[in-house]
Amino acid sequence: MPSLDAARRRLRLSDAHVSVLGVLVEEDGLPDELSKARDELREAGLLDGGDKIVADLYPLVSTLMAPRVIARVEVTGPQGVTSNGAVIGDEFVFVHEAWPGSTESEYVPAEPETLVWSLARMVDLHRDFTDELDGGEVITSSMGLFDKVIERMEAGEFEEPEAVTEVTGAPLRLTEILAQLNCMWRMTVVWQGAQEQRNPGGLSVAALSVWDCGLEGYWLRELPTEPISDGQVDADSELRVRRTSAKELWRMMTDLLPDGVQLAAAQPQTS
């Protein structure tokens, strides 16, 4: 069920609840499949008798309807995939985090100065006591061999890395670090940048993909290069990962976010 913590301005909403709010703002007809979500919003007191959105939802809804920057954080772990992120508008910033197995996410207001910290928390970026070991180590393989290793892991076949290498043909070092895998995460930031910065879809996009391999540390996936388009990667695509540190990842996450100049370039010019 959706809910509001008025004291801390926190909200719990599912994607369906957010869709209902968008439809109501646009004053469009509500599809039948969203009727249940609308009823839940009513029951939670987030819609009044005339299906008007309560004032407490204005900051979030206004930000979702006209975002300046959208950050998406996809975390893949033993409990599946969770989608988290942040939305930056002209007046407000909200971060949202999902819980494994739940359809609802918690939306919380944030200050721009704390945004990188919030994103780092979403991926559990933590001090790596092995930072000084094998710094910059690089492993190369193919996406096809990587997929074979992951398939064995997902099937519960947790052999020693040497055995996995023998069966799959993947490099031993690759199977060694994947044996320690905690999660994989991808962070993507999208904004309306200057024309020369935009991709064919009309938006500027920056992204990075990381493996958190526990005792084996953090590994940045350099190839295939993010962001990846549909159909861009196949079994023959080269895989290259590089050992990195939490400190470097913090810098890279900071660099993902557009600066004031990039955002200003997206604003309409007035005479």
pLDDT tens digits for range 83-139: 999 999 999 999 999 999 999 999 999 999 999 999 999 999 998 666 555 568 999
As a whole number of Å, the end-to-end CA separation of the chain is: 48
Apex 126 CA angle, 123 and 128, nearest 5: 130
Q: What is the mean pLDDT of residues 258-270?
A: 58
Taking only Cα atoms into account, the Rg of the chain, rounded to an integer number of angstroms, comes to 21
Apex 255 CA angle, 254 and 258, nearest 5: 100
Q: What is the DSSP string of 184-224?
A: EEEEEEEE---GGG--TTSSEEEEEEEEE-GGG-EEEEEES
143-170 pLDDT, tens per residue?
999 999 999 888 877 678 999 999 999 9
211-232 pLDDT, tens per residue?
999 999 999 999 999 999 888 8
* β 204-212/183-191 pair status: antiparallel
The listed range with the strongest mean pLDDT (28-37, 235-244, 262-271) is 235-244
Residue 135 and residue 243 in contact, taking contact as beta carbons nearer than 8 Å:
yes
30-52 pLDDT, tens per residue?
999 999 999 999 999 999 878 99
Residue 227 and residue 188 in contact, taking contact as beta carbons nearer than 8 Å:
yes
Q: Which residues contact 157 (CB under 8 A, 6 or more apart)?
A: 164
Average pLDDT in the chain: 89
Distance of alpha carbon 249 from alpha carbon 240, whole angstroms:
17
> What pLDDT was estimated at residue 130?
60
Which tokens in the block code for residue 149? Answer: 């290793």
User: The whole model's pTM is what?
Assistant: 0.89
